[in-house]
Amino acid sequence: MPLKHSFPPVADDDARVLVLGSLPGDRSLAAQRYYAHPQNQFWQLMSPVVGHDLVVLAYDDRLATLRASGVALWDVVGSARRAGSSDAAIVDIAGNDIAGLAARLPRLRAIAFNGGTALKQGLKLLGGKADTGGPAIVALPSSSPLHTIGLAAKQPAWDQLAAFLSEPLAFRG
């Protein structure tokens, strides 16, 4: 099985929400773009969260809009072996330093995990604790086309991210 690598993080210092996927699928890796599979619902799910139709934008404009809205992107898996794009096939995982990234984001209010694999691996990387006294941990239904519950069923969970973007920053000292 080929060794596959995640992309660099997309994050500005003023990010308030960090959305973490598992590992880019083959379509995304080929395009060198986050969530490039045309049936992945990520951009649709994030559009109401940031108040902009991300789907109609060019990729670089999508990323710029996320950053301007206070959203950062990355993956929990830095590298792994996987045949195809299914999270269930991921083996030999080396994690990304998500705790280190989170520590460098002083306004971070929430770490959101896009799907069960991202949540499971991400919590391991954060020391296995969902309540660390730091940013809120948010479990999201996967935006992947393999998670077939439908956009309407996924949207309410994703919509909760908007509150972390609009709430005033609480003192973290």
Positions annotated as catalytic residues are 40
Q: How far is CA 84 from CA 12, 25, 96, in A?
A: 31, 7, 21
Distance CA 103, CA 38 (A): 33
Instruction: Please check whether residue 107 is in contact with residue 169, taking contact to mean a CB–CB distance below 8 angstroms.
Output: yes
CA distance linking residue 119 with residue 22, whole number of Å: 8
- Return all residues near 10 (Cβ < 8 A) that are at least 6 apart: 34, 63, 66, 67, 72, 73, 74
Q: Is the Cβ–Cβ distance between 81 and 9 less than 8 Å?
A: no
